[in-house]
Structure 1
Amino acid sequence: MLFGSAAVLTAGLWSGLKPESARADAPMTFEGLVEKAREAAARPFEPVSIPAPDLIAKIDYSAHWQIQFRKDATLYIGPNKSPVQFFHPGRYFPEPVRIHVRDAAGTAHEVPFVSDFFSIPEDNPALDLPEGFGFAGFRVMRPNLEPDWISFLGASYFRTDGPEAQYGLSARGIAINTGLNVPEEFPRFTAFWLGPPEKDDEELSIWAELDGPSITGAYRFGVIRNAPYGGHLTRVSAHLFLRETVERLGVAPLTSMYWYSERDRAGGEDWRPEIHDSDGLAMAAGSGERLWRPLSNPTGVTTSSFMDVNPAGFGLIQRDRDFENYQDDGVFYNRRPSAWIKPGGDWGPGRVQLILIPTDDETFDNVVAYWVPDSPTEKGASFQFDYEIEWRERDPLPQNVAWVVATRQGQGGVPGDPLPEGVAKMVVDFEGPSLTGLDRESGVVPVVDALNGRILKPIDAYPVVGTNYWRLTFDFEQTGPEPVSLRAYLKLRDRALTETWLMDAWVERGQG
């Protein structure tokens, strides 16, 4: 058995492992990995070969869950001795991934796939897999080995458990043709190199090779546990090369789940009041404007785009952190992390895009957000994007404006009067120091606009008694088959007091 020897791997050097079990690579640099990706883009895509596909298909969810990585096989990487464990392949993660360990000098060794790394029940079909099959991915553990705090598993997906040790939304290396009428591509990380940190505050650094039918890439990740704001931080440098023209290139993509919340509770039949990993898209535009777009569960796939130049940040956010609003004591949606993308360098013109897909349960991700550059994405094009992902409770608080704390929708009209047909009411609550001390006599003005619809008077904005909130209320009606695109904020004279609230809504609640 090799797990006892593997546990003493430090600084990229095997100790006591049989020579035939570990293959040493030539010294490598990240620049060399970038050049390798560039050269691969000039060659046709070759799909990965899955050894024993019929056998791997037998390792279903239940069988895969029974397979446990042995604690005494844990690898300790770099001077921080970061504990790393590996994922076994299965039906939902069949493609083998090569994993290497490298030292500060660049010497790298491939970690062999050995079944003895895992504790596998005697009746599990995984016991019949051939040696050397390949791992599905890996995770970095906390110092006591429980639990893991960051993992890379499946295609180009990775995620952390955020400030409250609860996994939720995921990030991806890249999104290709998401939300279009052509098939979406899912490029994957085919190989990883785990090594010592490249900056003083990092736990370790991770290099990854990306490959897909239309794209190749080299990625550098610097991962930090317990960042100053209370969550985790992932530094990303992505070098991308297009081997084919793509219609839509989604940079720094985030993937999440939204079923229903207080705004569209009628759309969910579960006993819990709200079910979602994220409740909104937040954006800090390059101009300084802050935007909030509540998520929704539409009846068909919808796409929202927010044009910008050099955005300061964007992310899928879980602002509602109150357990009482979820009542889920099993998976704790109130603890789910938010992910805030902080671009580095000049990203130029483009758009943040939000894709919403209908769902009738909580088991599938149905929300995607990413940056789409305006640059041509033709065969032979290359890109470099540097950014940070802050895994935190919520988006950074706006400095000069109040923020949205709740969005609710219901029947329009006035209670006690006959209810008008085809009219809905929207209620938006704001909170923040820019509203402190203001009242109805202060001159606060609500600004509300609609596309594909009409705003009906009265429009009202006022402080909610006994709270720190200001409430904006208005009725609207739909003027065509398309959803009503709503935009609203509060201002005092020429100064915006709140972030801009944006919503695509139907008059019939639960469709927007």
Structure 2
Amino acid sequence: MNRRQVLTGLAAIPLLQSQARSSFAQAADKSQPFDPSVVRQLARELAGKPYQTPDSKLPSPLANLNYDAYREIRFNPERALWRSDHLPFQVQFFHRGFLYNNRINIYEVTGGQAKPVPYRAGDFSFGDTPPPSPDADLGFGGFRIHAPINKPDYYDELCVFLGASYFRAVAKGEQYGLSARGLTVDTGQSGGEEFPLFKAFWLERPSPDASSMVVHALLDSKSVAGAYRFTIRPGDTTVFDVEAAVYPRVDLQHAGLAPMTSMFFFGPNDPADAADFRPAVHDSEGLGIFNGRGEQLWRPLCNPRDLQISSFADQNPRGFGLMQRERKFEAYQDLESRFEMRPSLWAEPIGDWGEGVVKLVEIPTKEEVHDNIASFWEPKGPLKAKGEHIYTYRLHWGPDTPKPSALARFTRTGVSARADNDRLFVLDITGDKLRGLDPGAVRGQVTTNKGEIRNVVSLPNPLTDGWRLSFNLITDQPPIELRAILMAGDTALSEVWVYRWVP
């Protein structure tokens, strides 16, 4: 079992007690009044009490499932929520087991009333695993939402909420790739990471002509509770409007907002150690940042030999995301994984987020089955205990950033070793801003914090209808922080390329 099998396998499944001490925890079949303030109140109550571990108890046949046995547990598509009502969204449920033992309670909200979605063993087929008793109340492991994306008469899988606070989505013509999370705590810290869990969901019943669906989620972990509201709009780009209210039990020194995780195994800037028929393997190739100072940054990802953490200080960021810019099959040559069809994920803060850093965590991996890349916004200073911290942002799952930029973009980073202390960097840049320029008017500006930059050359690249910038880095003092940009006089022609070189 590996990451690719898990992601591919779960997507291939045919349309297949630790709840807060509140009326919702006790309700079996009764409807309860509901509005968004209910979830916030539950989160406040959780944060004011000692943490209770999730209910992960299962009947013995289900308690120790392996990947193959779990994959055989299939939800009956005829039992999908709202299927018989012919609404624009349908919901199907994951059983508990394998990596997803924690009980998740799910409610349907209709007309201001919330009613539990009942668990019924008969809604699932179990393969060779003995099914639970017909009267068992096991809750769910998670759920996925289907909606017409590619064809008006077919309900494609749109997004999945499954495992801790992870969720992922696709847009028209895309396949699953990277994931988002509700919140990270201590990611990349030496003391280990905490994984908050979405422990309950409220699904608002859409109207027959709805173009969006609303999901509420209650988050909990040892250090923090939270309330989330997702407004999900599918399309050429699938958009999640996210309203998050965070209630720490303790001061959170390293909380990650709008977090996302991805995989980078190798690419032109960081080739594989072993021979591979594919020229690149990654779900995301770079971190893009539109910072509060008006700069646009591009940081190619790498698979480092040792853990790398990069922090990009900012105030009131305009957006950041893990991006898959290369969209040609020839760049990957993988008929199975189709990396050129993986979505980019862009986080757009709504309102001012103050001071902090966009953090990038790159973890070494020797296999492509691991998500080894994480990025998120970390506020300056802790999120104080007993407080309410509100953040609103928009997640864009799609081919690119939500707003086009007039600046040219770096499309490829190549690195070659010429000698022990000499590295050749070759950067390709494309964009309308570069067309028709006099080569004598364009210059590459390259800086480094250590070592020496030599032989900076910028020239048109007729094969890409863009430009190529190359230079040599002479140093024996890694790691090195590099910056590069194309200029015409004092005018920026391109975004800013930033890179950490480590041999």
2:106–2:140 Cα contact (<8 Å) kept = yes
Q: Write out per-residue CA displacement over residues 329-358 of structure 1, whole angstroms, 9 at most, x where no aligned residue.
A: 112111000011111011111111100001
Q: Which of these residues, 393, 396, 406, is aligned with residue 390 of structure 1?
A: 396
Whichever residue aligns with residue 225 of structure 2, its letter is T
Q: Give the aligned partner of residue 102 of structure 1.
A: 109
1:292–1:501 Cα contact (<8 Å) kept = yes
- In 2, Cα distance between equivalents of 1:270 and 1:57: 38
After TM superposition, list the pairs within 5 Å mapping 1:205-216 onto structure 2. Answer: 205-216=214-225
State which drifts further: 374-383 or 465-474: 374-383
Whichever residue aligns with residue 458 of structure 1, its letter is N
Q: Give the aligned partner of residue 502 of structure 1.
A: 498
SS at match of 2:311: strand
Q: Give the aligned partner of residue 449 of structure 1.
A: 447
- In 2, Cα distance between equivalents of 1:129 and 1:298: 50
Q: Give the aligned partner of residue 424 of structure 1.
A: 423
Q: For residue 96 of structure 1, report the CA deviation from its aligned partner.
A: 0.8
1:301–1:355 Cα contact (<8 Å) kept = yes
Q: Give the aligned partner of residue 237 of structure 2.
A: 231
- The answer on 1:32 being equivalent to 2:56 is no
- In 2, Cα distance between equivalents of 1:153 and 1:304: 28
2:89–2:206 Cα contact (<8 Å) kept = no
Q: Write out per-residue CA displacement over residues 1-39 of structure 1, whole angstroms, 9 at most, x where no aligned residue.
A: xxxxxxxxxxxxxxxxxxx99512420211122122112
Q: Which of these residues, 283, 291, 296, is aligned with residue 277 of structure 1?
A: 283
Q: Which of these residues, 64, 80, 91, is aligned with residue 84 of structure 1?
A: 91
Q: For residue 458 of structure 1, report the CA deviation from its aligned partner.
A: 1.3
Q: Give the aligned partner of residue 202 of structure 2.
A: 193
Q: Which of these residues, 462, 466, 471, is aligned with residue 468 of structure 2?
A: 471
- In 1, Cα distance between equivalents of 2:86 and 2:114: 15
After TM superposition, list the pairs within 5 Å mapping 1:40-439 onto structure 2. Answer: 40-52=46-58, 55-76=61-82, 80-103=87-110, 105-121=111-127, 123-127=128-132, 131-143=136-148, 146-196=155-205, 202-226=211-235, 230-396=236-402, 398-412=404-418, 420-439=419-438
Change (3 A) 1:404 1:97: same
Q: For residue 308 of structure 1, report the CA deviation from its aligned partner.
A: 1.1
Q: Write out per-residue CA displacement over residues 419-450 of structure 1, whole angstroms, 9 at most, x where no aligned residue.
A: x43211111111111111113222x2211111
Q: Mind listing any 5+ residue stretches in structure 2 that lack a counterpart?
A: 1-25
Identity of aligned residues (%): 36
Whichever residue aligns with residue 493 of structure 2, its letter is L
- In 1, Cα distance between equivalents of 2:37 and 2:155: 35
- In 1, Cα distance between equivalents of 2:367 and 2:452: 33
Change (3 A) 1:496 1:201: farther
1:55–1:129 Cα contact (<8 Å) kept = no
Q: Give the aligned partner of residue 455 of structure 2.
A: 458
Change (3 A) 1:31 1:21: closer
Q: Which of these residues, 490, 496, 499, is aligned with residue 486 of structure 2?
A: 490
Q: Write out per-residue CA displacement over residues 154-212 of structure 1, whole angstroms, 9 at most, x where no aligned residue.
A: 000111123323000000000100000112010010000000359x9642110110000
2:412–2:429 Cα contact (<8 Å) kept = yes
- In 2, Cα distance between equivalents of 1:83 and 1:172: 22
1:163–1:393 Cα contact (<8 Å) kept = no
RMSD: 2.2
Q: For residue 455 of structure 1, report the CA deviation from its aligned partner.
A: 2.9
Whichever residue aligns with residue 153 of structure 1, its letter is L
- In 1, Cα distance between equivalents of 2:175 and 2:297: 26
- In 2, Cα distance between equivalents of 1:155 and 1:129: 27
- In 1, Cα distance between equivalents of 2:27 and 2:187: 41
State the number of aligned residues.
Answer: 473
Q: For residue 125 of structure 1, report the CA deviation from its aligned partner.
A: 4.5
SS at match of 1:399: coil
SS at match of 2:451: strand
- In 2, Cα distance between equivalents of 1:459 and 1:256: 33
After TM superposition, the runs of 4+ consecutive aligned structure 1 residues lying more than 6 A away are none
2:458–2:468 Cα contact (<8 Å) kept = yes
Q: For residue 145 of structure 1, report the CA deviation from its aligned partner.
A: 6.2
- In 2, Cα distance between equivalents of 1:197 and 1:501: 44
Q: Give the aligned partner of residue 5 of structure 2.
A: none
- In 1, Cα distance between equivalents of 2:67 and 2:95: 12
Q: Write out per-residue CA displacement over residues 62-92 of structure 1, whole angstroms, 9 at most, x where no aligned residue.
A: 0111111101111118994521100011121
Change (3 A) 1:367 1:311: same
Q: For residue 406 of structure 1, report the CA deviation from its aligned partner.
A: 0.4
2:58–2:101 Cα contact (<8 Å) kept = no
- In 2, Cα distance between equivalents of 1:383 and 1:360: 38
